[in-house]
A and B are shown apart, each in its own frame.
Chain A
């Protein structure tokens, strides 16, 4: 079967750095997506990785290792507004998105 694993919940301090991991086992790979979802709101697109390596976008970076079936989302200089759920999703060989259950990130002052 296809599976995406990410931690259920993480806690970090304002101003710090946090890394949210995602491991996947899918039938084929056609890219990995990260989304942010604040409570009661729409998931919003953060990043897309299809090749190995690090993609940086301001305070957020996403890393991919296809050989290890592994990705992480790195958030720097954490702000209170970063408190949200972070969803990892992989496109399989049929170009269908397989979703993780999401990681709830709690930021403390």
Chain B
């Protein structure tokens, strides 16, 4: 399998549930990202990991908890979410996490609906 994969593709959860999103990249990259994409809004960067170390947390609520066990895998743990958290969650990876031409490659996303 190549590129960036995400599971599940669709998730419906109640506000009291706990679930996790998984991302895996097969590109040999060292940086991984979580984004939130809401309709007609710009992509919102949530977290950045570089060589498994978190380098960015853009004021994301604590009900979202990232985990990066190695450079190829990234998780987003979800608990006590709110309906406004319903969105498409995109994972991306890039070679080095910095530099002008460092290009991000995206997975297909998880469509999350919070009831």
Contact = CB atoms under 8 A, between A and B. Distances in A.
Contacts, number: 50
B45 interface: yes
Interface residues of B, number: 21
A18 B56 CA distance: 37
B56 to A, nearest CB: 8
A106 interface: no
Contacts of B99: 95
Nearest to B33: A97
Chain A interface size band reads 20 to 34
Interface residues of B, dominant DSSP? loop
A4 B44 CA distance: 13
Contacts of A95: 98-100, 102
Contact of A50 (B4, B101, B104): B101
Interface in B69-115: 90, 98-109, 111
Contacts of A40: 108-109, 111
A44 interface: yes
Interface in A19-34: 30-31, 33
Closest 6 CB pairs of A and B: A99-B42, A42-B106, A99-B43, A30-B100, A31-B100, A42-B108
Interface of A: 4, 8, 30-31, 33, 35, 40-45, 48, 50, 87, 89, 91, 95-102
